[in-house]
Amino acid sequence: MVEENKKFCSEDENAEFCSCDFPKQILMVVSNVCKAKNDHRTGVWLEEFAVPYQAFIDAGYDVTVASPTGEIAPVDPASEDLIKEVKWKNAIKALNDTQKLDTIDYMVFDALVLPGGHAPMFDLAKCETLGKIINYFSSKGRLIAAICHGPAGLLSAVDAGIPFVNGKRLTCFTNEEEVCAHKEELLPFYLEDELKTAGAFFIQEDVGKVNVVEDDNLITAQNYQSVWAFTDAILKYLNK
């Protein structure tokens, strides 16, 4: 219904409907994976989910949180913090009650947001439903945003044999950052390398530096240090 009602929006003050009467609809897609290689615990990097999630709520947007299985989206233990957990209790609650991605009416959403943590490399990178959603958003010029390892989900989208990321300017958690974090042995692949192989124009900053890259309707960020700038870029894009 949201999509249908937007069709009535016009400059005529007597128009029955206007898109401004409806809050922005944000779809956040997270991983269900709790273990990387060698049974190392992983999951969603809490800050990369909670900061934008709370900002979207505060901005009056409607946020739907989905995952491939519709089950709990585990939090990476390395990102847990007791003080922040109290502050972000609503975000954590949303991670504990996700909707199954293939049941979502994705056509009604204004933006797709993919938080990081290493977990997306194990399921979102090959999720056919997510790939279908990304291709749809791309065809409609709707916002697609991903941070840190969230861009792994972008690899799921291929249209007529061409990867979605082909020719796109973007970034993600870099090979150098993986080595500095001593996580390289836990990975199914280096995300930077896979994005480059798929044809992306990769843009990086030094380890731990804030880096947000905007390419038309695609916004990506390099690491969790970039989460505030990433969130701000999304809000600015949606409020244009």
Which CATH number belongs to the domain containing residue 66 in this structure? 3.40.50.880
Residue 1 lies in a domain: no
Residue-range definition of the domain harbouring residue 76: 23-238
CA distance 9 to 21: 9
pLDDT in tens, 62-115: 999 999 999 999 999 999 886 777 889 999 999 999 999 999 999 999 999 999
pLDDT in tens, 78-88: 998 867 778 89
Start-to-end Cα distance in the chain: 23
For the chain, the domain total comes to 1
Residue 5 lies in a domain: no
Sheet holding 111-114: strands in order across?
99-100, 62-67, 25-29, 111-114, 143-147, 218-221, 212-215
Residue 10 lies in a domain: no
